[in-house]
Amino acid sequence: MEECKIRLLKAEEIECRAAIVKENGLSLLLYKDARVDQRILDETFGAFGWQRSHQCIDGNLYCTVSVYDKSTGLWISKQDVGAIGHAEKEKSQASDSFKRACFNWGIGRELYTAPFIWVAAEMAAIRRDKCKDRLYCNDHFSVQSIGYNENREIHALTVVNDSNGRVVYETRPAAKKRGAKASGEENAPGISSEQMESLEKELRRTGVEMDAVRERYQIERPERMTEELYQRVMAALAKTKTAA
């Protein structure tokens, strides 16, 4: 089992979707689909070396991904619950729970280290649906290239708008990595009022909405985020252009 190391995702295996669309731009999230998980499981453990199962607990659909450990002759399992999508409820829960369970095995976990990706309005075709009174963007974005550091964290990323071929986001490795690994996040005291004010100031400067930050970094209460996460958010915002 120790010899089976989950590889990092390739650029062509990563999808992009718009998280929040505003008049001044949109934020992008990086994700993987279930086919990528299946392929990496096959590559790492063999077609007969893993299995999946689903069960409903308190109305929620859970997926269990089990891997066979040849050294012990035991099946090792990891489980997670799926979220409900807007369409095809049962299928979306099954797929989402499977992908989340694969995250537990380490497949695509590096996506959680992605920077905040903000695409300015002039780099995308943002339109308004008058019937639903909402903004939307039908442009397709893709990851052109991606790089990782020794900690399996994303440190280089290029995203392009396939609709016009323009690079809409690009970041390169810093000359020197700052900060330490986070530990004990569940017991973190949260950020100070001064840090919260600095965050709000950066949001006003860039025009980025707090909801976009919460969605991207899966933050329920911004004031309770860890110091390490706060530094990641601020570093990402620092790379974002000032809103007109």
Helix orientation angle between 227-238 and 210-217, rounded to the nearest 10 degrees? 120
pLDDT of residue 145: 95
Output phi, psi for 133, to 5 deg.
Answer: 50, 60
pLDDT of residue 224: 82
User: For residue range 65-94, what is the model confidence (pLDDT) as tens digits?
Assistant: 999 999 999 999 999 998 866 545 556 889
- The chain-wide mean pLDDT, for the chain, equals 86
Residue 114 is encoded by which pair of tokens? 């992605």
Q: What is the mean pLDDT of residues 27-48?
A: 96
Query: Which residue stretches of the chain are H helix?
Result: 34-45, 89-104, 193-206, 210-217, 227-238
pLDDT of residue 185: 39
Structural domains of the chain, with CATH: 11-32+108-238 (no CATH), 36-104 (3.30.160)
pLDDT over 80 at 17, yes or no: yes
Q: How far apart are the first and last CA of the chain?
A: 53
Q: What is the mean pLDDT of residues 4-21?
A: 93
Task: Identify the bridge partners of residue 36 per DSSP, sorted by sequence position.
Answer: none
Q: What is the mean pLDDT of residues 158-164?
A: 94
Return all residues near 187 (Cβ < 8 A) that are at least 6 apart.
none
pLDDT of residue 181: 41
Share of the chain above pLDDT 90, in %: 54
User: For residue range 171-220, what is the model confidence (pLDDT) as tens digits?
Assistant: 887 654 444 443 333 444 578 888 888 898 988 888 888 888 888 887 87
pLDDT of residue 229: 87
